[in-house]
Amino acid sequence: MSAQHVEGSRDTARAEAQAHFERGVTLMGHENWEAALVEFTRSLELYPTRSALFNGAMCHKALYRYGPAALLFRRWLTEYGDAAPAEERERVEAAYAEVRSLLGNLSVSVSLDGAEVRVDGRGVGRSPLPGPLELSVGPHVVEAVLDGYRTARQEATVVAGQDAVTVLTLVPGPPEPTQDTAGTLVVRTVVPEARVEIDGAPADLAERVAAGRRRVRVTRPGFEPFETEVVVEPGGTVEVEATLALAAALEPDASGFLRVTVDGEAGDVRLNGAPLPQLATTGLVVPAGPHVVEVLREGYLPWRRRVEVAAGAHETLRALPWPTPETLEAYERDARAWSIAGWSTLGAGVALAGGGGGLLGWGVSLDDDLQAGIADWCTRVGADSDCDPWGDQSRFTIYSGGYEDRDRLQSDRDRALGVEIGGWVLVGLGAAAVVTGTVLLLTGDDPDYYREQAEPGVSTAGLAPCAGGAVLTLGGRF
């Protein structure tokens, strides 16, 4: 290639770089710092100049990216500081000092040499690094990547003017999967503080893993381990539902006692996702630590509580499953109907008994009149006042009209007897109704029972896996 051709290429690159530089200056005038940075970066790639380098650093500074800004200012001082005019150098040094005051130092130590060190996804060198990194204030994700080892990752928080240290330990294992060779493995478990391992290495509830056959193991002291193998396809997602059973034997100093009292029918009582009806009857000895208790009943919202059982302690939970709107409406309707029937029957019984009492009182009055009539009749026929008008009358002298008076007394006697019988019948019916109404009220449900509860409670609570961790989800009745 001729020198003339090379010179022509340089001139072309310089002209293109100048065009990018001028567009960057225009964008800076509009305070479009992101677009201006793109133009200055391209200008530097084509034909490096100290003006493009300085303007690029200023764009980073305007975007609050103090770490990259400091790198460009330091590069400017290294490459152009000696040859630049003193006034220009002082301006750059002042800008560099300003951004450095907003930075903190992060020393990164890696267990093995030769690993690529990345900060927020950007490579900053290989271990061991020559010195601390100057980073902007706030959280940063620091990684170490080396073939044959799992990527070591840790979050570090940088504070202005302070030195922070991050230690990354590389563990042998498969390389970090790429988009084309990876899938997502989601492990769902209700057991709190369960340890998840994928291929023997600790993992999150949701983890990107290399495609292929993966071995999943979920453990917690006091529980039988859960193990399974799954096949993960590239770009696919596999979900594993891990239910851990209680260990057959638990040490007394590492276990406690747990019992659940359930309002109404017990339903399906579960501990950490496993059906255990004994919880609602005799109770169970469980491993010390946190547990999730669930009560599932048709027509009711799932009731869940997290409970901490201390070693040697006895814990009792009261479970009040909250009905669904449809169940609550039907419950209150039936309970009110039962209550109305009870009060109505009780009221009718009181009314009947009162009516019967009134008839008995009237019957007594009628009987008094009858006895007075009989005494008068007996006196008039010359007999004792307590004679029997309907008995042997051979000793009586029946006066004129005496037989008619006796017939009227018979009518009065029949009426008094009928009133008395009717009174007792009504009293009996009323008493039966009062007893029936009382039984209905005592055995019926309280229509306001659920509304009088001080706290309906959280109806659902659990861990929902997401990439890199878990999110606590709650649901309830407001």
Query: What pLDDT digit, counting tens, does each position of 435-469 carry?
Result: 998 988 887 777 777 776 644 443 333 333 433 33
Mean pLDDT of 199-216: 82
Rounded Cα–Cα distance for residues 168 and 109 (Å): 6
Q: Give the Å distances, CA to CA, from 158 to 66, 109, 125, 277.
A: 12, 15, 19, 51
The pLDDT tens digits of the residues spanning 14-32 come to 899 999 999 999 999 888 9
Q: Which residue has the higher pLDDT, 328 or 115?
A: 115
Per residue in 98-115, pLDDT tens?
A: 988 888 888 999 999 999
pLDDT of residue 56: 93
Task: Report how far residue 198's alpha carbon sits from residue 228's, in angstroms, rounded to the nearest whole number.
Answer: 10
Residue for token digits 């009928």? 418
State the Cα–Cα distance between residues 208 and 184, nearest whole angstrom: 5
| Count of residues making up the chain | 478
Which amino acid is it at 182? A
d(CA 207, CA 213): 14
Q: Residue 463: its pLDDT value, please?
A: 38
